[in-house]
Amino acid sequence: MRRKATIATRFDLRFVWFHERLFRLKELKADMRKYSVFAVAREAMRSHKGWEPQWVSPEPRSSYDVIIIGGGGHGLGAAYYLAKEHGITNVAVIEKGWLGGGNTGRNTTIIRSNYLYEESMDIYEHSLKLWEGLSQDLNYNVMYSPRGVMMLSHNTHDMQSFKRHINANRLYGIDNEWLTPEEAKKFCPPLDISKTARYPINGAALQKRGGTARHDAVAWGYARAASDRGVHIIQNCEVTGIRRGPGGEVTGVETNRGFIGARKIGVSAAGHSSVVMQMADVRVPLTSNPLQALVSEPLKPIFPCVVMSNTVHAYISQSDKGELVIGAGTDQYHSYSQTGGLQIITHTLDAICELFPIFRRVKMMRQWGGITDNTPDRSAIQSVTPVPNLFVNCGWGTGGFKATPGSANLFAWLIAKGEPHRLAQGLTLDRFRTGRLIDEAAAAAVAH
């Protein structure tokens, strides 16, 4: 009798398990509806009741082939490309907060690829090419807008430096051109090019394919497309430790929702990269600094492009909502506070008001800070680590948004193959031992 009861209980449990699996399968299979004009029309006919969640949020499995730590654009994108290009779909993205709530949702959305060194041009141009087709690829409007990025030159040094960049870019097949002050004014009418200006302009470099995109949509678009390919997206799940096997290799992560096993781990944790890497006893050459940005009250369309000035340190564009989006510089000290000093912002606004006198009476609406992970040479790290099966994508510092698709794409390659893609070979951790730095810090002056 007893034996029978045990079997019956076991059967019941199996039955429950089977139903649970079936239910989960159904949940996961919730076929992603393609977004199109027809879908909008169809939903308009039935009071928009048919829209489904963009990604599913399942309970974590006990283990995965790959765990990505960090649910920003880079991490979600890497999961998407792992599934799409490398056939690895047993993947989880683990995010301690909400998707895109870190630097992905805090940046000023500038996209360009006019860097000086080949290692940088390789990855940023790869990224720019992916930006150009990203909305179609993801079936999600990331609002990539190639409205042109103009970098102002204020003195002889700027002019020489920018022309060097332009020549380097054009020799490498990347568009970048020199504008006279008059041509710059024609391209961006609000610009003050008078000789008596506080910061007179003697020319500008223009990358026409550069521009902006909608940052939230990038995170959401990648999440939706990755989820559709079976990737698990797990939010509100903080990694508290990285567990290692007898050979030192990673075996999984400790989280506030328990242990989750993993054959490989990719760390894509931006400002918290040092903290996460230390869980695996790896020290990285990073300093986390506050970086602030702010937006104005919404205005009618007035500003046609992105303008950056390294010398007076300001960059500005207008979002599709109409807000002027303005980026400040990093604070000098290392901090995880996600706030910065007010003097940094006022310094930037001083410069903006001098360059664009018409904005002097515009009110600023919101201001915020993020944590940027900066390397000594201001170039990113995408690398294998001394710990087997642990990979890191960090050090994007103040310029990670523009790199999102390219970085994610090449990070997926690194995780899948265990060695860097040709275009990311220079970004290894090893360069700090060999001394083969990619010194964009010197090449880009301030803004990045």
Q: Which is nearer to other proteins, 286 or 293 (CB)?
A: 286
- Shortest gap between Cβ of 287 and other proteins (angstroms)? 6
- Shortest gap between Cβ of 325 and other proteins (angstroms)? 23
Q: Which is nearer to other proteins, 384 or 423 (CB)?
A: 384
CA dist 73 and 218 (Å) reads 6
CA dist 192 and 150 (Å) reads 14
- Shortest gap between Cβ of 418 and other proteins (angstroms)? 22
- Shortest gap between Cβ of 339 and other proteins (angstroms)? 8
The two beta strands, 232-234 and 211-212, are unpaired
Structure tokens at 374: 């900066």
- Shortest gap between Cβ of 278 and other proteins (angstroms)? 8
Q: Which is nearer to other proteins, 211 or 329 (CB)?
A: 329
Q: Which is nearer to other proteins, 123 or 429 (CB)?
A: 429
Residue burial 43-54, b: 16+ Cβ < 10 Å; e: rest = eeeeeeeeeeeb
CA dist 392 and 414 (Å) reads 9
- Shortest gap between Cβ of 246 and other proteins (angstroms)? 24
Q: Is 364 exposed, middle or buried (0-12, 13-18, 19+ CB in 10 A)?
A: middle
Q: Which is nearer to other proteins, 230 or 341 (CB)?
A: 341
Place of tokens 């989880």: 92
CA dist 328 and 300 (Å) reads 23
- Mind giving me the DSSP string for 112-129? ----SSHHHHHHHHHHHH
Torsion of the alpha carbons at 419, 422, 427 and 431, rounded to the nearest 10: 80
Paired with 364 in beta bridges are 296
Other Cβ atoms within 10 Å of 341 Cβ, number? 15
Residues found near other proteins in the complex (CB under 8 A): 272, 274-275, 283-288, 332-337, 339, 341-343, 376, 432-435
| 3-state DSSP helix/strand/coil % of the chain, to nearest 5 | 40, 25, 40
- Shortest gap between Cβ of 343 and other proteins (angstroms)? 5
- Shortest gap between Cβ of 443 and other proteins (angstroms)? 18
Nearest alpha carbon to residue 115 among 396, 316, 318, 387: 396
Q: Which is nearer to other proteins, 178 or 368 (CB)?
A: 368
CA dist 208 and 176 (Å) reads 7
Q: Which is nearer to other proteins, 47 or 434 (CB)?
A: 434
Q: Which is nearer to other proteins, 167 or 332 (CB)?
A: 332
CA dist 6 and 426 (Å) reads 61
